[in-house]
Amino acid sequence: MPMEYFEQRERALLGDRFDVLYAAPQETAERGVTVSALRSSPEQFAAKADFPLEASPFCKAAFVVHRPDDLKFRPGRHPYHHAGVFYSQEPSASSAAPLLGVQPGMRVLDMCAAPGGKSSQLAAALQGRGVLVSNEYVAARADILKSNLERMGVPNAVVLNEAPARIADALPEFFDRVLVDAPCSGEGMFRKEPVARQQHCEALVKQCAELGAEILDCAAAVLAPGGQLVYSTCTFAPEEDERQVAAFLQRHPEFTLADALGNVDYTFGSEGEANRTGGLPLDVSKVRRIWPCQGGEGHFMARLVKAGTPRVLPAEGEYTAEEQLWLAAAEAAGKKAKGKGGKPAKTPDARSARRENARACREAVQGEKRSREVQAGETSPAQSLAAWHAFAGQYFPALVDRPAVVHGGGVLLPVPFPQTNLHVLRAGVFVGSVQKGRFVPEHHLFTAFGAQCVNREELTLDDPRCVEYLSGREVEARIAADGWCCVTVDGWPLGGGKVSGGRVKNHYPKALRNMGLMSGDKIVRYLKGLCGDVLIEDLKTPFVATAVDIVTGKTVYIDKGPLLDAIRASISIPGLFAAVKKDDMLLVDGGVKERIPVSILKEKGMDKTLAINTSTDPGVMRPKNMVMMLSRAFDLMDWESCRRGCFCEADYTVPMERGCEIVYYKPSEAVKAYEMGVEAMTAHLERAKAALGL
């Protein structure tokens, strides 16, 4: 069993201390929020928050959120979250970023950045100066990273979707600070993610240790002389922690191990363990561990300093000669750019616009743009810049003099960054584009610079218009004048809107309102009438629902909390229903990965598992709309999986003579499926017993 390897190893290393160190203060992982200094001080946030907070020992900007009396409370749904005031994360996850000692004006790399919690902390420390490069190798996670940094209002980020080795080749000795929050075996996530226990094994630890070593070597290559590197994991495995750092120091004599807490004026956790170095020399008093008994989730941190003299940082508001050349190169590439084309651009949150923006970001950095003559009806770069300057002069006068370039028909406020061949998803702030002859601002303009907008509609936390706005509906304009405005909550920017006739036309991106064709609100209201506020723990029959975190791809087992929430998450067919937001997770139908949660059943002590296949042959059907198209696609995938015997890992699967299609909005269909399942089970009972040896 996976847990046997872990426990045997840790008991051998810790002896009698095992039970003490792994005794967590609470059964489940704590929730936490980390306040962004781009928005607020921790003190200001604590005074305004409408939920109870406790100062976190792991970071001065972080809080533990205690809400046992309100299981429906979700920090990720709070208006302050949408305004980028805080990032929702497990408390001890906020411990690593401050150890870097980031100062405004530095060049900072977060090598393994998704989903963006630590990057948001680094961005807050930079205060809009210098440059933050946030990289994520997995494309889907890189998109989430970009979205989170945009929500947090980060103005000086470059988001990459690259392999660490390519970054090392492109940017040797470029960064003043590097954070490597390495992909790891996740032993610290056993409480938070039960599926991690099932996936854990010795081979996984070895694989993660090898990958971590490769990433560390790349980080060493991109770090400038005198720079600092923080290596962190959320695991206890010696191969990925003390032994990893000791081996790195042997490979890189130009590095020295520094006190992990040397850049902060507080302490947390414990020193490292001498018997975890694999016999290699290491001053374990300088590294830091967080054990479950200390209220954390198994984090490990080490700070490494590269020999040499640190780079002198430019004064506030100034660029180095090198940085001025990079900005000039971006501007030159923009002047060669083609116009928008005769066809009007789609709304800023449309897929084509996102594609165009991503391409433009790439070209702004790479300088690889095919030029052609501007055709009739197109907008030239000069016209786009003129439209932006006119718009900025009216609504954002403080931004008029900032460097701006044009790429792909959009206007970009770039960051000083060299041209490379790296895959860039975001490079600065896309402020908007000319559409139908008018300048239309982007959402990121308001999140990054909303405080500088001279026309604002100011909401408060208890204002019902706040929820209305975040749901995508028009709201009453009470103080904003006609034209574009920034919508704020308690002074913090939520997004943009356009005022006309006393109403704020909502421009909050649709992708942020919900992530499906249907919100699922009607289903929730119906389920509310059926199950009310029943908790899973109170059910007479054991119950577990499965969902998949679309961000990480990991299965999430839901066997506690409100029954309504579990059902809603487990039926979120991607594309059809909006994903359920829970902390940093986006939960969709568990059938994406695991039709029946057999693994959790076996973990709970079930010796034998039975499953009943209620799938139906999809037959022939011509879709009439997008909803039917998506539903049809999932039906076909479901049926093919069943046909190939990939239904589930149950010990015995009962076939049905005829299938049953369950229609979510017709409860009678679900009842019919249940009755047909009972019928099939009764008919195959003896065969099932024989197959299971009962």
Beta strand 175-181 pairing with 223-233 = parallel
**What strand order describes the sheet that includes 483-489?**
456-459, 483-489, 492-500, 503-506, 475-476
Nearest CA-CA partner of 301 in 365, 233, 208, 251: 233
Residue with tokens 């009842």: 671
Helix (H) or strand (E) holding 236: none
Residues 6+ apart with CB under 8 A from 368: 362, 421
Q: How many CA atoms lie within 13 A of 115 on its CB side?
A: 19
Residues 565, 504 contacting (CB under 8 angstroms): no
Give Cα 317 to chain centroid, integer Å. 31
Q: ∠350-353-356 over CA atoms, to 5°? A: 150
Beta-carbon count within 10 A of 648 CB: 19
Catalytic residue among 208, 234, 453, 486: 234
Helix (H, G, I), strand (E, B) or coil at 649: coil
Residues 6+ apart with CB under 8 A from 411: 384, 385, 387, 388, 404, 405, 430, 431, 432, 433
Residues 600, 641 contacting (CB under 8 angstroms): no
Beta-carbon count within 10 A of 663 CB: 13
Beta-carbon count within 10 A of 436 CB: 7
613-620 CB contacts, 8 Å cutoff, 24+ apart: 613/642, 613/647, 613/653, 613/654, 613/655, 613/656, 613/659, 614/656, 614/659, 614/660, 614/662, 614/673, 614/676, 614/677, 615/639, 615/642, 615/647, 615/659, 616/658, 616/659, 616/660, 616/661, 617/659
* Interatomic CA distance for residues 145 and 183, integer angstroms: 15
59 included as an active-site residue: no
Give Cα 409 to chain centroid, integer Å. 28
Helix (H, G, I), strand (E, B) or coil at 324: helix
Helix (H) or strand (E) holding 356: helix 351-366
Helix (H, G, I), strand (E, B) or coil at 162: coil
Residue with tokens 């991607």: 574
> What's the one-letter identity of residue 142?
A
Residues 416, 327 contacting (CB under 8 angstroms): yes
Q: How many helices (H) and strands (E) does the chain have?
A: 22, 31
DSSP E strand stretches across 192-328 = 223-233, 255-258, 270-271, 288-289, 300-306
Active site residues: 234
